Chain A
Protein backbone atom coordinates (compact mmCIF):
# COMPACT_ATOMS: atom_id res chain seq x y z
CA UNK A 1 0.00 0.00 0.00
CA UNK A 2 0.90 3.64 -0.24
CA UNK A 3 3.35 5.04 2.28
CA UNK A 4 3.98 8.69 3.10
CA UNK A 5 7.37 9.27 4.69
CA UNK A 6 8.79 12.42 6.22
CA UNK A 7 12.37 13.34 6.94
CA UNK A 8 13.85 14.34 9.22
CA UNK A 9 11.88 13.06 12.20
CA UNK A 10 13.41 15.75 14.42
CA UNK A 11 14.87 19.13 13.54
CA UNK A 12 16.70 21.40 15.96
CA UNK A 13 17.04 24.88 14.53
CA UNK A 14 18.75 28.00 15.82
CA UNK A 15 16.43 30.98 15.75
CA UNK A 16 16.97 32.91 12.54
CA UNK A 17 18.20 29.93 10.54
CA UNK A 18 16.45 28.27 7.62
CA UNK A 19 15.44 24.63 7.39
CA UNK A 20 13.59 22.25 5.10
CA UNK A 21 11.50 19.20 5.81
CA UNK A 22 10.70 16.64 3.15
CA UNK A 23 7.78 14.38 2.35
CA UNK A 24 7.98 11.38 0.03
CA UNK A 25 5.27 9.08 -1.24
CA UNK A 26 5.65 5.60 -2.65
CA UNK A 27 2.94 6.41 -5.20
CA UNK A 28 1.87 9.43 -7.23
CA UNK A 29 -0.39 11.76 -5.30
CA UNK A 30 -3.32 13.70 -6.70
CA UNK A 31 -2.63 16.36 -4.08
CA UNK A 32 -0.78 16.88 -0.84
CA UNK A 33 -1.65 18.78 2.29
CA UNK A 34 0.50 20.17 5.10
CA UNK A 35 -0.54 20.57 8.72
CA UNK A 36 1.10 22.05 11.82
CA UNK A 37 0.54 20.79 15.35
CA UNK A 38 1.76 22.95 18.19
CA UNK A 39 2.87 21.16 21.38
CA UNK A 40 -0.26 20.06 23.26
CA UNK A 41 -2.53 21.16 20.43
CA UNK A 42 -4.30 19.69 17.47
CA UNK A 43 -3.22 19.64 13.81
CA UNK A 44 -4.09 22.77 11.86
CA UNK A 45 -4.34 22.82 8.08
CA UNK A 46 -1.68 24.97 6.40
CA UNK A 47 -1.94 24.43 2.68
CA UNK A 48 -2.86 22.11 -0.18
CA UNK A 49 -0.83 21.58 -3.34
CA UNK A 50 -2.43 20.08 -6.42
CA UNK A 51 -0.40 20.82 -9.54
CA UNK A 52 2.89 19.24 -10.56
CA UNK A 53 5.77 21.55 -9.62
CA UNK A 54 3.47 23.88 -7.71
CA UNK A 55 5.06 26.34 -5.29
CA UNK A 56 3.09 28.27 -2.70
CA UNK A 57 4.27 30.74 -0.09
CA UNK A 58 2.85 31.74 3.26
CA UNK A 59 5.03 34.49 4.68
CA UNK A 60 8.25 32.68 5.68
CA UNK A 61 6.94 29.23 4.66
CA UNK A 62 7.46 27.90 1.14
CA UNK A 63 5.71 24.72 0.04
CA UNK A 64 6.64 22.81 -3.09
CA UNK A 65 5.08 19.84 -4.88
CA UNK A 66 7.44 17.73 -6.95
CA UNK A 67 7.24 17.44 -10.72
CA UNK A 68 6.37 13.75 -10.46
CA UNK A 69 3.87 14.48 -7.65
CA UNK A 70 5.57 11.95 -5.41
CA UNK A 71 7.34 14.34 -3.09
CA UNK A 72 6.89 17.66 -1.38
CA UNK A 73 8.90 20.01 0.78
CA UNK A 74 8.34 22.73 3.34
CA UNK A 75 11.05 25.37 3.69
CA UNK A 76 11.00 27.86 6.54
CA UNK A 77 13.24 30.90 6.41
CA UNK A 78 14.44 32.90 9.41
CA UNK A 79 12.97 30.46 11.91
CA UNK A 80 11.17 31.97 14.90
CA UNK A 81 10.14 30.44 18.20
CA UNK A 82 6.56 30.50 16.95
CA UNK A 83 7.54 27.88 14.36
CA UNK A 84 7.91 25.25 17.10
CA UNK A 85 5.69 22.22 16.54
CA UNK A 86 5.28 19.14 14.41
CA UNK A 87 4.70 19.50 10.69
CA UNK A 88 2.78 16.75 8.92
CA UNK A 89 2.27 16.11 5.25
CA UNK A 90 -0.73 14.08 4.14
CA UNK A 91 -1.85 12.60 0.88
CA UNK A 92 -4.83 10.57 -0.32
CA UNK A 93 -4.37 6.80 -0.41
CA UNK A 94 -4.70 5.17 -3.80
CA UNK A 95 -8.34 4.84 -4.88
CA UNK A 96 -9.53 6.65 -1.77
CA UNK A 97 -12.31 9.15 -1.44
CA UNK A 98 -11.77 11.93 1.07
CA UNK A 99 -9.29 10.08 3.25
CA UNK A 100 -5.75 11.16 3.98
CA UNK A 101 -2.66 9.23 4.95
CA UNK A 102 -0.47 11.27 7.27
CA UNK A 103 3.28 11.10 7.45
CA UNK A 104 4.90 10.60 10.84
CA UNK A 105 5.74 14.31 11.03
CA UNK A 106 8.83 16.43 11.57
CA UNK A 107 9.14 17.74 15.11
CA UNK A 108 10.77 21.17 15.08
CA UNK A 109 12.53 22.61 18.12
CA UNK A 110 13.79 26.19 17.94
CA UNK A 111 16.66 27.37 20.11
CA UNK A 112 16.64 31.10 20.88
Chain B
Protein backbone atom coordinates (compact mmCIF):
# COMPACT_ATOMS: atom_id res chain seq x y z
CA UNK B 1 0.00 0.00 0.00
CA UNK B 2 1.02 3.59 -0.51
CA UNK B 3 2.06 5.88 2.31
CA UNK B 4 3.08 9.51 2.51
CA UNK B 5 5.41 10.89 5.15
CA UNK B 6 5.72 14.55 5.97
CA UNK B 7 7.88 16.12 8.62
CA UNK B 8 8.22 17.84 10.98
CA UNK B 9 4.71 17.93 12.43
CA UNK B 10 5.23 21.35 14.00
CA UNK B 11 7.86 24.01 13.49
CA UNK B 12 8.49 27.40 15.04
CA UNK B 13 10.88 29.61 13.12
CA UNK B 14 12.02 33.23 13.46
CA UNK B 15 11.36 35.74 10.71
CA UNK B 16 14.16 35.73 8.16
CA UNK B 17 15.26 32.17 8.85
CA UNK B 18 15.39 29.48 6.14
CA UNK B 19 12.89 26.66 5.77
CA UNK B 20 13.00 23.12 4.49
CA UNK B 21 10.00 20.80 4.68
CA UNK B 22 10.27 17.31 3.28
CA UNK B 23 7.71 14.90 1.96
CA UNK B 24 8.24 11.34 0.74
CA UNK B 25 5.89 8.82 -0.79
CA UNK B 26 6.25 5.06 -0.63
CA UNK B 27 4.60 2.25 -2.54
CA UNK B 28 4.07 3.98 -5.88
CA UNK B 29 6.14 5.33 -8.73
CA UNK B 30 5.96 8.53 -10.77
CA UNK B 31 3.27 10.14 -8.61
CA UNK B 32 2.01 13.66 -9.03
CA UNK B 33 3.10 15.63 -5.98
CA UNK B 34 1.57 18.76 -4.47
CA UNK B 35 2.29 21.33 -1.79
CA UNK B 36 -0.67 23.17 -0.27
CA UNK B 37 -0.97 25.83 2.42
CA UNK B 38 -4.01 26.16 4.63
CA UNK B 39 -4.57 29.23 6.77
CA UNK B 40 -6.47 28.67 10.02
CA UNK B 41 -10.10 27.83 9.29
CA UNK B 42 -9.63 28.31 5.56
CA UNK B 43 -9.45 26.27 2.38
CA UNK B 44 -6.47 24.78 0.60
CA UNK B 45 -4.21 26.94 -1.53
CA UNK B 46 -2.12 25.04 -4.08
CA UNK B 47 1.47 26.26 -3.93
CA UNK B 48 3.42 23.85 -6.14
CA UNK B 49 2.69 20.92 -8.37
CA UNK B 50 5.04 18.34 -9.89
CA UNK B 51 4.49 15.64 -12.49
CA UNK B 52 8.04 14.32 -12.45
CA UNK B 53 11.62 14.73 -11.24
CA UNK B 54 12.78 18.30 -11.68
CA UNK B 55 9.38 19.41 -13.04
CA UNK B 56 7.83 22.04 -10.78
CA UNK B 57 4.87 24.30 -11.48
CA UNK B 58 4.44 27.30 -9.22
CA UNK B 59 0.88 28.37 -8.66
CA UNK B 60 1.29 31.42 -6.46
CA UNK B 61 4.13 33.97 -6.55
CA UNK B 62 5.82 34.02 -3.16
CA UNK B 63 9.12 33.61 -1.40
CA UNK B 64 8.78 29.82 -1.32
CA UNK B 65 10.28 27.31 -3.73
CA UNK B 66 9.91 23.59 -4.29
CA UNK B 67 12.18 20.87 -5.59
CA UNK B 68 11.79 17.24 -6.56
CA UNK B 69 15.25 15.68 -6.46
CA UNK B 70 13.91 12.12 -6.55
CA UNK B 71 10.78 10.52 -7.92
CA UNK B 72 9.04 10.23 -4.56
CA UNK B 73 10.59 13.16 -2.70
CA UNK B 74 9.18 16.68 -2.65
CA UNK B 75 10.80 19.53 -0.74
CA UNK B 76 9.41 22.95 0.14
CA UNK B 77 11.98 25.62 0.88
CA UNK B 78 12.46 29.26 1.67
CA UNK B 79 15.61 31.33 2.05
CA UNK B 80 13.97 33.90 4.33
CA UNK B 81 10.66 33.32 6.05
CA UNK B 82 8.06 36.07 6.40
CA UNK B 83 5.38 36.39 9.07
CA UNK B 84 2.81 35.72 6.37
CA UNK B 85 4.33 32.28 5.74
CA UNK B 86 2.70 30.93 8.90
CA UNK B 87 0.16 28.22 8.25
CA UNK B 88 -0.53 24.54 7.86
CA UNK B 89 1.50 23.03 5.03
CA UNK B 90 0.22 19.88 3.43
CA UNK B 91 1.94 17.58 0.98
CA UNK B 92 -0.18 15.32 -1.21
CA UNK B 93 0.28 12.73 -3.93
CA UNK B 94 -1.91 11.28 -6.63
CA UNK B 95 -1.47 8.79 -9.42
CA UNK B 96 -0.58 10.38 -12.72
CA UNK B 97 -3.63 11.73 -14.49
CA UNK B 98 -4.50 10.77 -18.04
CA UNK B 99 -5.99 13.43 -20.30
CA UNK B 100 -8.24 15.60 -18.15
CA UNK B 101 -9.20 12.95 -15.65
CA UNK B 102 -8.31 13.33 -12.00
CA UNK B 103 -7.08 10.91 -9.42
CA UNK B 104 -7.81 11.21 -5.72
CA UNK B 105 -5.21 13.11 -3.76
CA UNK B 106 -3.77 11.62 -0.60
CA UNK B 107 -2.46 13.98 2.02
CA UNK B 108 0.30 13.78 4.57
CA UNK B 109 -0.28 14.72 8.19
CA UNK B 110 0.93 18.26 7.53
CA UNK B 111 3.36 20.68 9.17
CA UNK B 112 2.10 23.50 11.39
CA UNK B 113 4.52 26.36 10.81
CA UNK B 114 4.58 29.35 13.13
CA UNK B 115 6.76 32.34 12.34
CA UNK B 116 7.80 34.54 15.24
Q: Would you call A92 an interface residue if the criterion is a C-beta within 8 Å of the partner chain's C-beta atoms?
A: yes
CA distance A44 to B90 in the complex (A): 12
> Are A96 and B106 touching (Cβ within 8 A)?
no
Query: How many Cβ-Cβ contacts under 8 Å join chain A to chain B?
Result: 58
CA distance A97 to B108 in the complex (A): 21
Q: Looking at the complex, which one of B41, B49, B51, B102 makes contact with A48 (CB distance below 8 Å)?
A: B102
CA distance A105 to B105 in the complex (A): 16
CA distance A48 to B96 in the complex (A): 16
Q: Looking at the complex, which one of A30, A98, A101 makes contact with B103 (CB distance below 8 Å)?
A: A98
> Are A43 and B42 touching (Cβ within 8 A)?
no
Q: Which residues of B contact A97 (CB under 8 A)?
A: 51, 97, 100
Q: Would you call B107 an interface residue if the criterion is a C-beta within 8 Å of the partner chain's C-beta atoms?
A: yes
Chain B residues 6-21 with CB under 8 Å of chain A are none
> Are B102 and A42 touching (Cβ within 8 A)?
no
Q: Would you call A109 an interface residue if the criterion is a C-beta within 8 Å of the partner chain's C-beta atoms?
A: no
The distance from the CB of A60 to the nearest CB of chain B, in whole angstroms, is 21
Residues of A within 8 A of B (CB): 30-31, 33, 35, 41-45, 48, 88, 90, 92, 96-105, 107
Residues of B within 8 A of A (CB): 32, 34, 41-44, 46, 49, 51, 90, 94, 96-97, 100-110
